[in-house]
Structure 1
Amino acid sequence: MSDYSLISDYKHIETYKESFNDLAMQVFQLNFKEWYNKGFWNDNYVCYSYLDGDQVIANASVSKMIVNINGKDYKALQVGTFMTHPAYRNQGLAAKLMNHIIQTYEKEYDFIYLYANDTVLDFYPKFGFERVQESSFCLLASDLKKQVGQKSVLRKLDVENEADYFVMKEFAAKRIPVSSRLGVKDSEHLLMFYFLLAFRDAIYYVEEEDVIVLLEREDDELHVFDLVSKKPVDIEAVISHLVLPETAIIHFHFMPDSENEKIQSALMITTDDVLFVRPSLKMETEHFRFPLTSHA
């Protein structure tokens, strides 16, 4: 390997930040610029990158998380944004970054976790990560126990609108975990990433429940990606505002807080994001799922 330099935590260094973004655009077609220009690259998101001169050629980032499982907080570190410039691949840079991150953080955190696509499933076990199978959660609309008499008007939020953006920012800063069974705290930087990039056109405010919902509809299916609230909400009351006459099934992309025994759970056989954890994570239930909007 050539004499590349390893740098980290360079959110205030414009040259490196721009180069990081150039690499993300090339590898993932993701533009972080609006996200970090608005101030959401905070101390909870740290990049570890190799430089060739002033160019970021390989990166792995960590997100410092508080994961709440059944009321208990865990210090967790999520590794993500693994990327290597095509001209610098097959030099072991990703492995060196992973080893450095593990050595830096493993004694400080309860567990380290990450999500991987199916092209690199053999890579992470080499570093002591164990593959963990998550579950899907869904509910037939006909099995909703709570129906509201008067549906709240869904107001679509626009990140370009100053008032709407203020609402999103406030909710992201003050949100509580989406589920008491498995949720995350202090993840404003991640949620704003989803608001600004991933779900920019799928953000709605339910005034009656004072909650922001990330949702998409696909024929007779309703996909609920997140419920962002500053106080506990009745999930079925919120959902009842969202269902349309043609809605047949609701898919939850998190572990729903509900006692409705009709909620169906099943191990996810096929998924674009495979969970790996180090050391192994012992859950009290067979079926669980980290909230989608907590994926880094």
Structure 2
Amino acid sequence: MEHIIEKYQDLPMYLSANNGVVNFYPKFGFERTFEKLPVCEFEIKNDIKPVKLQYDDPKVWNYIHKRVNFSHKLDCLNTASINIFHLYWGYLKDSIYEIPELDTLIIAEQKESTLKLIGVYLLRNINFTQLAKFLPFSNVTKVEFGFMPYWSDIEYVMQEYETDPIFIRGINCDLGEFKFPELSIT
């Protein structure tokens, strides 16, 4: 920890922890903070055959490294390696979809009528309404985002939810209600 803090002392940092170590990170200047989950009511009733990709498909690497969509509220730069790590870890191996018509890769899971968009990687800017028309899901009434949405054509609310403890260091502003991108958390 000391080596990383010294090497990157002027950069804001955040990390995820488990409840067993909540007293460890404050020793290094980290403060515990609490995220909220962006959620919107949105109906999706598409009858589209999904185009699934394997985590090791070169297209996945290309989408993640060349994405153009970044949130104006809160996002993380230079996170391609940790994004790839999450996909190679395997727990999302059945959640990787390509939408070739939109030059888009999504990491998503549907549970009952809720669609969780864990990650969206666009090679060109589109709005959410355009994306929704091509999502290979049906019977969706609610969308949860694993990041701060970057689209101006949807309204969402920030809801409290249970997650692992989050710690921040070197952030010199009020984050307000926020969600760190799930695929960038270490």
Decide which of 50, 71, 82 is 1:154's aligned counterpart: 50
1:292 paired to 2:185: no
Alignment of 1:29-40 (within 5 A): none
Alignment of 1:244-283 (within 5 A): 244-260=137-153, 262-268=155-161, 270-272=162-164, 274-283=165-174
| Contact 1:130–1:280 (Cα < 8 Å) also in 2 | no
CA separation in 1, counterparts of 2:84 and 2:154?
A: 33
Alignment of 1:68-147 (within 5 A): 98-106=1-9, 109-142=10-43
Q: Per-residue deviation at 1:213?
A: 0.4
Please state whether the residue corresponding to 1:119 is helix, strand or coil. helix
| Contact 1:171–1:229 (Cα < 8 Å) also in 2 | yes
CA separation in 1, counterparts of 2:78 and 2:12?
A: 17
| Contact 2:127–2:153 (Cα < 8 Å) also in 1 | no
The list of structure 1 runs, each at least 4 consecutive aligned residues, that deviate by more than 6 angstroms after superposition, is: none
Q: Which has the higher contact order (CA 8 A, sep 6+)?
A: 2
| Contact 2:47–2:137 (Cα < 8 Å) also in 1 | no
1:235 equivalent in structure 2: 128
Q: How many correspondences in the alignment?
A: 185
| Contact 2:38–2:158 (Cα < 8 Å) also in 1 | yes
CA separation in 2, counterparts of 1:99 and 1:233?
A: 42
Give 5+ residue unaligned stretches, structure 1. Answer: 1-97
CA separation in 1, counterparts of 2:6 and 2:149?
A: 35
Q: Per-residue deviation at 1:191?
A: 1.9
Aligned CA RMSD, in angstroms, stands at: 2.4
Q: Per-residue deviation at 1:226?
A: 0.5
Give the direction of change, closer, same or farther, for the CA distance of 1:136–1:281 in structure 2 (3 Å limit): farther
Q: What's the % identity of the aligned pairs?
A: 25
**Larger-Rg structure:** 1
With the length of structure 1 as denominator, give the TM-score of the two structures.
Answer: 0.56
Q: Per-residue deviation at 1:244?
A: 4.1
Q: Per-residue deviation at 1:271?
A: 0.9
Please state whether the residue corresponding to 1:195 is helix, strand or coil. helix
